[in-house]
């Protein structure tokens, strides 16, 4: 395989997109979904004449009779699409303050923009399988990406940044909720994003809702300030419950449920719950949950709700049905409606 390195002017690449001579191939795109803020920053990079990473193309189809040929845009679709949106004044591009619209540029600035040299790697006449292997090797890691890592590679908008900020709250560090591995693999951000989405909607399974919310709130997230205040009050409430550091509440699945149900009680249902009393009930509840790990048949029969919660916390912890089960039981505990005496007969 011979890979040629060179440059193409922006006007040449945009003309190729318009005429169909340069064909974006979605099989190879990383599909990073830029927010308007990132698009504007990229446009500003070009207007200032700063370099940006190279794009990859490969030979496409050739008409043997006419010699008319196409090329595949293997990598760089987001960059070229953004440049085209800028020139075309697309409604899909909202420029940040300070970035001059293309139509308002002077002739000299427009010419400079069109003549901007883009670094291009030409893969030549390369088979689809070879191109895929090239990009697998370029983007390979020593482990498979998890769902949050993949979404992080695609989205870096408002709601994702809010989830990242939330995951770094001192509350989680104080109670040692996330391990070093959790943080390295972005499981802390995944946890925070799950909390945010659940509060905004309802319990859902796994990370299936991430895509919709990351896309929907990529550019704007008006709920940010309200949720920031609410979560801070929820964390303060949980701290006031004074649960011991060895309590199972600091396990992610248990803490997830408690955060959701405290937020529901305080802000959705506006129930007047008191943290000290709620803490006493939660302590008693979690003690029973710990006992259920070694439960005999008599214990299981007499503590059916305790066993229901325990099973929902260890089997399919992220499934919607188990999250709902845990949520309903924790609601009863914090609201003072959980019948401990009946459970303990």
pLDDT in tens, 281-307: 999 999 999 888 777 777 767 788 888
Which residues have CB under 8 Å from 264's CB, separation 6+? 331
Phi first, then psi, for residue 208 (nearest 5°) are -65, -25
Burial (Cβ within 10 Å: 0-12, 13-18, ≥19) of residue 76: buried
Residue 91 C-alpha from the chain's centroid = 25
Lowest average pLDDT, out of 156-160, 256-260, 273-277, goes to 156-160
Query: What value does the CA radius of gyration of the chain take, rounded to a whole number of Å?
Result: 27
Return the residue matching tokens 């945010």. Answer: 196
- CA dist 51 → 47, 55, 239, 302 (Å): 10, 12, 49, 70
Helix H or strand E encompassing 62: strand 55-62
**Percent of the chain residues topping a pLDDT of 90:** 55
Which residues have CB under 8 Å from 238's CB, separation 6+? 171, 258, 259, 262, 275
Does residue 249 carry a pLDDT above 80? yes
Pair type for strands 117-122 and 4-9: antiparallel
pLDDT band at 345 (very low <50, low <70, confident <90, very high): very low
pLDDT band at 136 (very low <50, low <70, confident <90, very high): low
- The larger pLDDT score, comparing residue 302 to residue 145, is at 302
Does residue 30 carry a pLDDT above 60? no
The 3-state DSSP class for residue 132 equals helix
Widest CA span of the chain, in angstroms? 89
Q: pLDDT tens across 40-90, in order?
A: 999 999 999 988 888 889 888 888 888 888 998 888 888 999 999 999 999
Q: Which of 235, 193, 199 is nearest to 214 (CA)?
A: 193
Mean pLDDT of the chain: 87
Lowest average pLDDT, out of 42-46, 67-71, 142-146, 212-216, goes to 142-146
Q: Looking at residues 224-228, what average pLDDT do you find?
A: 97
Q: What's the first-to-final CA gap in the chain, in angstroms? A: 76
- CA dist 122 → 5, 42, 98, 220, 250 (Å): 6, 23, 35, 37, 52
**Percent of the chain residues topping a pLDDT of 70:** 87
pLDDT of residue 143: 47
Return the residue matching tokens 């591995």. Answer: 181
Long-range contacts of 224-229 (CB under 8 A, 24+ apart): 224/158, 224/159, 224/162, 227/162, 227/196, 227/199, 227/200, 228/162, 228/166
pLDDT of residue 1: 61
pLDDT band at 110 (very low <50, low <70, confident <90, very high): very high
Does residue 207 carry a pLDDT above 90? no
pLDDT of residue 84: 95
The residues pairing with 227 across neighbouring beta strands, listed in sequence order, are: none
- The larger pLDDT score, comparing residue 1 to residue 46, is at 46
pLDDT of residue 153: 57
Residues 82 and 121 sit within 8 Å (Cβ to Cβ): no
pTM passes above 0.85: no
Does residue 3 carry a pLDDT above 80? no
The 3-state DSSP class for residue 137 equals helix
pLDDT band at 155 (very low <50, low <70, confident <90, very high): confident
Domain boundaries, the chain: 4-138, 147-343
Which residues have CB under 8 Å from 300's CB, separation 6+? 292, 307
Q: Looking at residues 144-170, what average pLDDT do you find?
A: 79
Q: Taking the C-alpha atoms of 176, 180, 186 and 188 in order, what is their torsion angle to the nearest 10 degrees?
A: 0
């Amino acid at each position: 395989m011979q890979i040629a390195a060179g440059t193409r002017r922006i006007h040449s690449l945009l003309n190729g997109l318009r005429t169909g001579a340069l064909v974006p191939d979605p099989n190879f795109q990383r599909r990073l979904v830029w927010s308007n803020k990132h698009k504007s920053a990229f446009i500003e990079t070009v207007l200032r004449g700063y370099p940006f990473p190279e794009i990859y193309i490969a030979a496409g189809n050739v008409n043997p009779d006419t010699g008319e040929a196409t090329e595949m845009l293997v990598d760089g679709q987001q960059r070229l699409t953004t440049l085209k949106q800028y020139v075309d004044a697309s409604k899909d591009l909202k420029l940040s303050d300070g970035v001059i619209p293309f139509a308002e540029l002077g002739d000299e600035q427009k010419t400079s923009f069109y003549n901007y040299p883009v670094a291009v790697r030409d893969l030549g006449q390369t088979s689809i399988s070879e191109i895929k292997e090239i990009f697998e090797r370029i983007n390979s890691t020593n482990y498979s990406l998890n769902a949050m890592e993949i979404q992080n590679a695609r989205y870096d908008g408002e709601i994702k940044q809010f989830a990242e900020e939330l995951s770094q709250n001192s509350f989680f560090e104080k109670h040692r909720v996330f391990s070093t591995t959790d943080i390295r693999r972005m499981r802390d951000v995944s946890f925070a994003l799950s909390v945010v989405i659940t509060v905004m909607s309802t319990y859902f399974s796994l990370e299936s809702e991430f895509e919709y919310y990351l896309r929907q709130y990529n550019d704007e997230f008006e709920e940010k300030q309200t949720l920031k205040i609410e979560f801070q009050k929820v964390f303060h409430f949980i701290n006031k419950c004074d649960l011991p550091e060895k309590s199972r509440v600091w396990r992610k699945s248990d803490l997830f449920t408690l955060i959701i149900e405290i937020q529901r009680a305080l802000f959705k249902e506006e129930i007047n719950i008191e943290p000290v009393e709620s803490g006493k009930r939660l302590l008693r509840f979690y003690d029973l949950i710990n006992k259920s790990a070694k439960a005999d048949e008599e214990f299981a029969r007499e503590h059916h709700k305790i066993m229901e919660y325990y099973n929902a916390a260890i089997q399919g912890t992220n499934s919607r049905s188990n999250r709902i089960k845990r949520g309903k039981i924790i609601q009863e505990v914090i609201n003072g409606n959980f019948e401990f005496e009946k459970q303990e007969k």
